[in-house]
Structure formats: C-alpha cells, structure tokens
Structure 1
Amino acid sequence: CALLAGPHTENFKEVVETLDAAKAVDIVSDAMELASRVSALLADDAKRATQAARAAQAAQDLAGVTDKVWDHIVSLLPNEPSSTTSAPTGDQS
C-alpha cells in the first residue's frame, strides 16, 4: 500500500528515513495536507501502485530490523537472558 506519515516520526526515524529515501512514503505536515495526499493517491492508480511497490521493496530491505533491535536491547540488559530467549514475533495466538 502507499504510505503516508505525519511529521512526528521520532520513534521510528531510521525506518522513515529509509522509506523516504526509497520514495516509499510521503511525509505530511498536517490534516489538510493528509487529506490532499489521500485524495491524490485515490485519484491516481499509477502513482498509488508505484508508491506501493516502492514500499514493498523497502519493507523487504528492512527485513530483520526487529531482530537487530531486539539483539541491541538484550545487549543493554544487566543480566543476559537465557539462550532460549528470542525476539517477540507479534503472533499472540
């Protein structure tokens, strides 16, 4: 899908910078600009498809980032968890 983000991306700055460099995300400054960009994307199938393809490629390029972040967090812990500890998968079933 085509991606839009607001100006406050501090918590995932590196990911947004990667997406922005790949022209896979449009950064909007306010609600008016968001509405305008959404309308433009809905009206332009080719632009929407191009941006979605760029986002998919950037997501593939970012694959493994969760594991890297997890490894960094674990390295900062005072007592290293057992070797059976693994990164959360997001699957809560």
Structure 2
Amino acid sequence: MLNKNGIKMPTRTPAKQANYGRTVLINQLRPGDLVFFWTGSGKIGHVAMAVGNNQIIHSVGPGKDVQITNLKSSWYQKHYVTSKRLFE
C-alpha cells in the first residue's frame, strides 16, 4: 500500500519507521495509518496498518499468515506506543 501511494520507507524496522509521518491519536486512526507496539524488549518491535473500525492488519510472525485483529484486544491496548499517518 505504501509503494502504491509513492511512499518509500528507508527502513524496515518498526522502531525506525515510527520516526516517519505525522502522529495521530489512536481514536483518530484512518485506513492506511501505521500503528506501533512495544514488545518484550521494551522498545517498538511491531507495526500494523489500520484498516478501519478498530481493526488492524499485520503479520504475527515469520511464516505466519497476515491477520486482521481488533485493536481493542488487551495485548494491543497494553502495548500500544504511537500511530503515524504517512499520507493524507
């Protein structure tokens, strides 16, 4: 989706991706916004994309299928760090 909108991310690590775009509040997410979470390491280690209606799409791990998950689930609420909008 990012490439289709002419957005090139210079890095693939979630912690560095979180430095790009405009910060948006979790209750103002739009489809395409990136949502960042901290992992057990205490730093941002996971990123998902908002798809609307409090849903995110993401890969839950290497070799796993992409999933749509409710952002209101307890793990995601507890580990939420920030959200970024890369395009309007």
- Alignment TM-score, normalising by the size of structure 1: 0.25
Compare the two structures and name the one with the higher strand fraction. 2
Q: Considering only CA atoms, is the larger Rg found in Structure 1 or Structure 2?
A: 1
Compare the two structures and name the one with the higher helix fraction. 1
- Alignment TM-score, normalising by the size of structure 2: 0.25
